Amino acid sequence: MKYAPLIIKKLADLLVGNNTVNKLSGKDLVDLFNEFGFNDDYIYPNVGIATADLGNGLSRTDYARKRLRILNDKEQVDVALSLYLDGCSDRRLAEETLNTILGKAPVVTGVDIKGSASFQPHSQFDDIKPGVPTVFISYSWDDQDHKKWAKQLADDLRTKYNICSLIDQYNSAGVNLVEFMNKGIRVADRVLMIGTPIYKQRSESGIGTGGKYEEVIVTTEIYKNTDTIKFIPLLRRGDSFDDSFINIVSVLNGYDFRDDSKYEDKLQELADELYGRTNIIPALAGGSSESTIIPTAYKGERWLYELMNHFSFFLMDGYFERMPCRFDMRVMIMFDTWNAIINSSVYQIKDAQLKKHIDEFFIAWRDICELGWRYFSDSNNGTDYVFYGAEFDFFKDTEHENAFHKLTGMLGPLYVKYKAFVAYLDSQYPDIDREKVSVDFVNNLK
């Protein structure tokens, strides 16, 4: 929702701590707003808050007000407040102050909550299992009927077809929506995009839920690999796919769910697609088509071929040389693609030793990415991710310092597993040209 200008002013005061505890430093404010796609920086000493559109040297209050006004126009202030509350040392006090500003009922006190401290809400991601298709549902909050329909689709996929559907409406209160969208799209086998004219509008402008976060990941993935089948458009409202999806999505094969009388039939077709039961192409006469597609150097290992199409040994070597201070952004593209492939329900490596080496390397790599992603930000050169404070030889707080040392300790074991994987490739798959693989990946990104 959008807030009145006076509310925005008071919310900015809340963030910078003019009249409350839990105040955010200049670096904290920059980190918060960069979650929404801004590329601001905090340069210490001399400069302070630096932006491309608002100038440099802004006070914390002025910076917070101007960024909140932009988010307010996009109806994203609620998400920013959720992120702020997640980081508060005294969350109850922050919530009480926020409720006063917004005119909401105060937090209930004096209730016996004995035993509740050990309660951990169920996570959708806990339902992901090998062999069960996982889908992320991307949609816009057009109105209550549309939200209800999207949730019904998620429910039906789970209860009728044993498909693990991920949707924001299953989240417990307090879940970070930005993190949920990023992780959900990354780990899902397929992404179901429910199209309406409003969904297209918000994809283009980044307004509100179903906006720019998902759009950036979708377009990056499709441009990166024009053969991807991960994203499936589902037309719910509008005269055509062109009316309800941006151009790069509207040309993909999808399903028309506008006619409710055909809902069950379309749902069955969609489930068949997700389980890989449709479009089974007969082999060409004279033998399997697989051997004509996969280069002989891969010895029939189709998924090794797919992994190598999205990998650069040069970039990975550089990753070990520069981490944990910084690393090339293209390494995250490599990881995201590997994550999608390995977590796909159809992924299979026949060579048991090869699979062991891939799994051990990938799990160690994943652990570093999952720990480290929240501590890195874009660098000014636009090509690297940099650990917060690393360029100025200081840590923002003890948490960041501990994370830095933990990442340092994790790099050694990862390097050992990486070298074991490379050694196995060189000994058992010597015809794979690792230099060409690396160069091709970088060139394809261009």
Rounded to two decimals, what is the model's pTM? 0.42
Report DSSP letters for 349-363, one per residue.
Answer: ---HHHHHHHHHHHH
User: Looking at residue 224, what is its pLDDT?
Assistant: 55
User: Which range is least confidently modeled, 100-114, 178-192, 392-406?
Assistant: 100-114
Q: Which amino acid is at 220?
A: T
* Closest among 173, 78, 165, 161 to 122, alpha carbons compared: 173
Share of the chain above pLDDT 90, in %: 30
Identify which has the larger pLDDT, 210 or 74: 74
Residue 413: CA count within 13 A, CB half-sphere? 12
pLDDT attached to residue 446: 67
Sequence-ordered list of residues with C-beta below 8 angstroms from that of 282, at least 6 positions apart, any chain = none
What whole-number distance in Å separates Cα of residue 290 and Cα of residue 343?
21
Structure letter (DSSP) for residue 392 = G
For the stretch 152-191, pLDDT in tens is 999 899 888 888 999 988 887 667 776 788 788 888 889 9
pLDDT of 261 reads: 94
The listed range with the strongest mean pLDDT (74-83, 88-97, 140-149, 293-302) is 140-149
pLDDT at 391 over 90: no
Position 329 pLDDT exceeds 90? no
Residues 210-222, mean pLDDT to the nearest whole number: 54
> Is the separation of the CB atoms in 377 and 388 below 8 Å?
yes
Amino acid letter, 428? Q
The alpha carbon dihedral of 198, 203, 204, 207 has a sign of positive
Long-range contacts of residues 90-99, Cβ cutoff 8 Å, at least 24 apart: 90/21, 90/22, 91/22, 93/20, 93/21, 93/22, 94/14, 94/20, 94/21, 94/22, 97/14, 97/20, 98/11, 98/14
Q: What is the pLDDT of residue 213?
A: 52
pLDDT in tens, 250-277: 778 899 999 999 999 999 899 888 887 6
Phi and psi at residue 163, in whole multiples of 5°?
A: -110, 125
What would the pLDDT profile of 23-76 be if each residue is shown by its tens digit? 888 888 898 888 888 888 888 666 788 888 888 888 888 899 999 999 888 878
pLDDT of residue 206: 45
